[in-house]
Amino acid sequence: MSNEATLHSHQEVHGSLEHDQHGNGHDGHEHHGTFISKYVFSMDHKMIAKQFLITGIVWAIIGAFFSVLFRLQLGFPDTSFPWLSSILGHWAENGHIKPEAYYALVTMHGTILVFFVLTAGLSGTFSNFLIPLQVGARDMASPFMNMLSYWFFFIASLVMMASLFVQTGPASGGWTAYPPLSALGDASIGSKIGMDLWITSMALFVVSQLLGGLNYISTILNMRTKGMSMTKMPLTIWAFFFTAVLGVLSFPVLLSGFILLLFDRHAGTSFYLSDIFVAGKALSNEGGSAILYQHLFWFLGHPEVYIIVLPAMGIVSEVLAINSRKPIFGYLAMIGSLFAICILAFLVWAHHMFVTGLNPFLGAFFVLLTLLIAVPSAIKVFNWLTTIWRGNINFTPGALFSIGFVSTFISGGLTGIWLGNSSIDIHLHDTYFVIAHFHIVMGVSAFFGMFAGIYHWFPKMYGRFLNNTLGYIHFWITLCGAYLIFWPMHYEGLAGMPRRYYDYSTWESFKQFAGLNHFISIVVIMVFATQLLFVFNFFYSIFKGRKLTIANPWKATTLEWTTPIHAGHGNWPGEVPEVHRWPYDYSKDGVDFIPQTVPIGPNESEH
């Protein structure tokens, strides 16, 4: 096929998109239902994705606000904030957060952001939204199971929210809920009913993730459109696929750990308890091991890091290729590195446990495997940088957040090489160095991937654009703020400053960091305010944003942009398009982009 013929074919496809752009996507699959069936108990994957996203945004505001509250304590330990009493009641008498309230805030902040925002909010939103659209399916393999996945998450959210309002307060044993603190109701005020609600909520959350994960895997393997071979799938779909596999294999282990914890709390068992004294009195529990819980928790906990980061990696790969107007560099190497990360994620969990008395000889294996996982991560970083190298970059907010992701993933990942080494980790474990490392590499990076996805696919979701100016403000303050918050914590950690402590001002060794903690807390408040600006932009733009007038605003090649602007349930009004080429034909043969639906010419190579 000559360049002219390719371009002509491409224009024909694009013309048909223009013709369809104002269609509503009504076909045999459209469901004319009531408000409740369309917006509440919807089985349309696009609506379920929006439900996950908006629920995740609500939780993100709550979880981030908790971090503002406990940073007030860390940055201004001697200052009284009378308004805190009106928010926290007896947990902040005289404007000072009580120690038990501080630990509850830290616990809930970690739980909410790791599980409810960065797992359910990120994966639940984009896996649901993009998998059927990008593989060419009418909906998920089981729309009903998909709806159940969201509602289990919603019920888990209600139970977790309820724990904030019980008299003894929410769980306060850390987001990892280590026993014996979590296994003994009398251990602390945060180990009472708040902990039961926490465990119940997390068990419901695991059910939600399993229902979703099985659906994602089934849809990707069984429901691809004609011509969509596995090697023609966008990297987003590969990332969601491996994420779902990780979740299906590791979440049941966490669920078993929680069930045993409930048995220890209420059935008199001793899975995690042995030789425990409370107020000088010996308990009857014998034979258990708190280390068993750590093994069960981290067997999920480390794959969980990649359950959070892999979807962001897929989104970033897609957004960078589109906005660089270049094919993704090393497509097969990107898939291979995702696969390698998926395997290695299951083999490194004990690097969280170097200080538990683990046999040093055994620890050496986990050091080796932990350092090995840096190799596929480095391949991905190299390929992202090579994709944007000399590209004709369109600096949309989505593209900026993708570049920001690469930056934080590199800088946060490098400190992981330190912590993966057991001899260094023994000194740095449970210090601020660990907080700095995982917040940058996992927390900030995953949020950047999530923001990139929201800015990029918002027009596809709602038929309108987010405000670009607010997007640029959001990006620059968030990027600079993230580094100003977490980079100084590395130095505090190297000095040995432990995490989870309520007040450092009375500690002679760490008084020197009072000014730094003060500075960090001020930046936290500024960054939190900027996220509220994003939330305003998001909800305002749903109703008042600039309208989408063409079906493919980013000039992308993938299938989701072949649907009408306001696609109904079923996505395509007529036949589902057939796929002929891989998803990264940008700047090829003198053509800016060639959609996947354009046939390959006789003189054209596939890649």
Given a contact cutoff of 8 angstroms between Cβ atoms, the answer to whether 474 and 527 are in contact is no
Q: Which two tokens stand for residue 589?
A: 């043969």
Share of the chain above pLDDT 70, in %: 94
The beta-carbon contacts of 377-380 under 8 Å, at least 24 apart in sequence, are 377/337, 377/341, 377/409, 377/413, 379/330, 379/333, 379/334, 379/336, 379/337, 380/313, 380/317, 380/334, 380/337, 380/338
pLDDT in tens, 12-33: 334 443 333 333 333 434 445 6
Interatomic CA distance for residues 146 and 153, integer angstroms: 11
Q: In 3-state terms, what secondary structure has residue 278?
A: strand
**Lowest mean pLDDT: which of 145-149, 184-188, 198-202, 369-373?**
184-188
> Which of the four pLDDT bands, split at 50, 70 and 90, describes residue 391?
confident
* Crossing angle of helices 374-388 and 360-372, rounded to 10°: 20
pLDDT digits (tens, 9 = 90+) for 513-542: 999 999 999 999 999 999 999 999 999 999
Bridge-based pairing state of the strands 277-278 and 586-588: unpaired
Give residue 289's identity as a one-letter amino acid code: S
**For 229-251, how does the pLDDT look when each residue is reduced to its tens digit (9 = 90+)?**
999 999 999 999 999 999 999 99
For residue 38, what pLDDT is reported? 76
In this predicted structure, which of 34-48, 196-210, 415-429 has the lowest mean pLDDT?
A: 34-48
CA distances from 12 to 232, 574, 598 (A): 22, 16, 9
Query: What is the pLDDT averaged over residues 93-97?
Result: 89
Q: What is the pLDDT of residue 222?
A: 94
- DSSP secondary structure letter of residue 23: -
pLDDT for 327 equals 93
Both tokens assigned to 83:
């308004």
Q: Which helix (H) or strand (E) holds 104?
A: helix 99-111
Closest to 224 (Cα-Cα) out of 141, 312, 124, 146: 141
**Which residue bears the tokens 């500075």?**
519
Pick from 461, 414, 455: nearest CA to 565:
461
Confidence of residue 324 (pLDDT cuts 50, 70, 90): very high
pLDDT of residue 567: 87
In whole angstroms, give the CA distance from residue 509 to residue 492.
Answer: 11
pLDDT in tens, 438-476: 999 999 999 999 999 999 999 999 999 999 999 999 999
Task: Judge residue 80's burial from the number of C-beta atoms within 10 Å of its C-beta, 0-12 exposed, 13-18 middle, 19 or more buried.
Answer: exposed
Phi, psi angle pair for 586, to nearest 5°: -110, 140
Cβ atoms of residues 394 and 466 within 8 Å = no
In 3D space, the residue among 311, 272, 352, 343 whose CA is nearest the CA of residue 52 turns out to be 311
SS3 of 547, please?
A: strand
At 286, the pLDDT band (50, 70, 90 cuts) reads confident
Contacts of 515 by beta carbon, 8 Å cutoff, 6+ apart: none
Contact call for residues 538 and 54 (beta carbons, < 8 A): no
Q: What are phi and psi of 593, to 5 degrees?
A: -155, 145
Strands 281-282 and 591-593, by their bridges, are: unpaired
Residue type, 223: M
Average pLDDT over residues 274-279: 86
Distance of CA 582 to the CA centre of its chain: 27
- Cα separation, 293 vs 176, whole angstroms: 10
Distance of CA 145 to the CA centre of its chain: 22
Above 60 in pLDDT, residue 213? yes
pLDDT at 16: 40
Element (DSSP H or E) covering residue 281? strand 281-282
DSSP secondary structure letters along 553-604:
TT---SGGGGS-TT--TTS-SSSPPPP-S-S--EEETTEEE--TTSPPPTT-
Q: What does the alpha-carbon distance between residue 466 and residue 539 come to, in Å, rounded to a whole number?
A: 9
Tokens of 504: 């450092």
DSSP for 345-367, written as a single string: GGG-GGGG-TTTT--HHHHHHHH
Q: Residue 25 has what pLDDT?
A: 38
Residue type, 368: L
Q: Which of 324, 567, 584 is nearest to 461 (CA)?
A: 567
Provide the residue type at 250 as one letter: S
Structural domain boundaries of the chain?
Answer: 2-9+42-593
Q: How is residue 154 written in tokens?
A: 């919603």
Q: Is the dihedral of CA 126, 130, 135, 139 positive or negative?
A: positive
At 75, which helix (H) or strand (E)? Answer: helix 45-75
CA angle, corner 485, sides to 74 and 164, nearest 5?
Answer: 50
SS3 282: strand
Q: For the range 334-339, what are the long-range contacts, defined as Cβ-Cβ under 8 Å and sequence gap of 24 or more?
A: 334/235, 334/238, 334/379, 334/380, 334/383, 335/231, 335/235, 335/238, 336/376, 336/379, 337/376, 337/377, 337/379, 337/380, 338/235, 338/238, 338/239, 338/242, 338/310, 338/313, 338/376, 338/380, 339/242
List 431's β-bridge partners, or say none: 498
At 569 the pLDDT is 87
Tokens representing 54 are 């908006």
Which of 52, 49, 177, 71 is closest to 116 using CA atoms? 52
pLDDT category at 602 given cuts 50, 70, 90 is: confident
Partners of 278 in the β-ladder: 281
Q: Tell me the CATH number for domain 2-9+42-593.
A: 1.20.210.10
